[in-house]
Every structure is written in C-alpha cells, then in structure tokens.
Amino acid sequence: MREDHIAPATRRRFLIDTAALAGAAGLGLSLAIRPASATPASMRAAIRRVVGEASVKKGRLKIDLPPLIENGNAVPLTVAAESPMTADNYVKAIHVFTEKNPQPNVISVQLGPRAGRATFATRIRLADSQKVIAIAEMNDGSFWSDEIEVIVTLAACLEGV
C-alpha cells in the first residue's frame, strides 16, 4: 500500500523536475510530456514520420539480433538489406525502431550506391523484452521491413547512476 503512494509521488516529482529542466534548457514542453517508455503507438508514429503514406512490405531486409539477451546495455545488431547497390537500384536508408525503449528511434543510416553492400552493424540498448523493427527505403521509393521479437533479462536505459 505504502509503495502505491510513493510511486505516483516520485512520478509527479519527476515530471515537475523534467518540466523545470526543459524550461531552463529552453527545450520546450516536449520533454515534459515525454512518456516513460515508447509505446507500440509511438513506434508506429515514428515509422509514419519516416515512410509517410507509403505502404511498408515485409522482406528484402534482415535483422540479426540475439533472440535472448542477457544484458540490454550493449546488444549487437546487424541489419542487412538485399540490393544490388547499383546506380539505379540501391538502398537509400535503413531505420531501426523499438517498441518499448524510452524513444522509438534507434538509428537511421543513409546509404548510396557507393556502399556496395547495404549492411551495417552496431550495438544498441534495449530497455525491455520487445519487438525491434527495421525499415529499408529503396531508391524507387518503396519501403521494406523486418521485425524480430527479443527477450531481455537485464534492461538498459532506466537504471540509476
């Protein structure tokens, strides 16, 4: 019962503090209303911002991520798109999104015919067991996606210092 009372109080204080911080930094109110975690809806909104009204088809792209992650602080991620990467048929960009991290965006890379192979790798943070989606934008304006469900045992991002 006691914990039930503490939780909203800290949350309220967090919001007030964030608002004060946002004001001080001149960052506007967007920080103050930032949700504690991205939701499937905010991920869809982030994807909409990238693809616009275009439809996203499954395929031509592959996410390589371990299905069971012990430590969400540094998870190796590889995204590979199928494309000949010639001057008239190449991948323009690849975007990666998550469902439950504090922000849906993870990384956006811009490629071109000079890349030779539409593949990149990095290490990411994952705050929870969730769905990770990658979307590739081709030079002809089509969008292709792949998604993967991962289980995270130790979450990143939200722990204290």
Partner 1 sequence: MARALINVPPKAKRGELIEIKTLISHNMETGFRPDNTGKPVPRDIITEFVCKYNGEEIFRAELFPAIAANPFLTFFTIATESGTLNFEWTGDNGFSASESVNITVE
Binding region for partner 1 (CB under 8 A): 10, 13-14, 17-18, 21, 25, 73-75, 98, 101-103, 105-112, 114-117, 119-126, 156-161
| Three-class DSSP labels, the chain | CHHHHHHHHHHHHHHHHHHHHHHHHCCCHHHCCCCCCCCHHHHHHHHHHHHCCCCEEECCEEEECCCEEEECCCEEEEEEECCCCECCECEEEEEEEECCCCCCEEEEEECCHHHCCCEEEEEECCCCCEEEEEEEEECCCCEEEEEEEEEEEECCCCCCC
The pair of three-digit structure tokens given for residue 52, joined into one six-digit string: 């616009």
Q: How far is the CB of 87 from partner 1 (least distance, A)?
A: 12
Q: How far is the CB of 37 from partner 1 (least distance, A)?
A: 9
Q: How far is the CB of 160 from partner 1 (least distance, A)?
A: 5
Q: Are 127 and 43 in contact (CB under 8 A)?
A: no
Residue 107: what residue type? Answer: I
Q: For partner 1, give the closer residue by CB, 45 or 57.
A: 45
Q: How far is the CB of 90 from partner 1 (least distance, A)?
A: 12
Q: How far is the CB of 10 from partner 1 (least distance, A)?
A: 7
Q: For partner 1, give the closer residue by CB, 73 or 142.
A: 73
φ, ψ of residue 59 to 5 degrees: the values are 120, 180
Q: For partner 1, give the closer residue by CB, 33 or 55.
A: 33
Q: For partner 1, give the closer residue by CB, 126 or 135.
A: 126
Q: For partner 1, give the closer residue by CB, 10 or 55.
A: 10
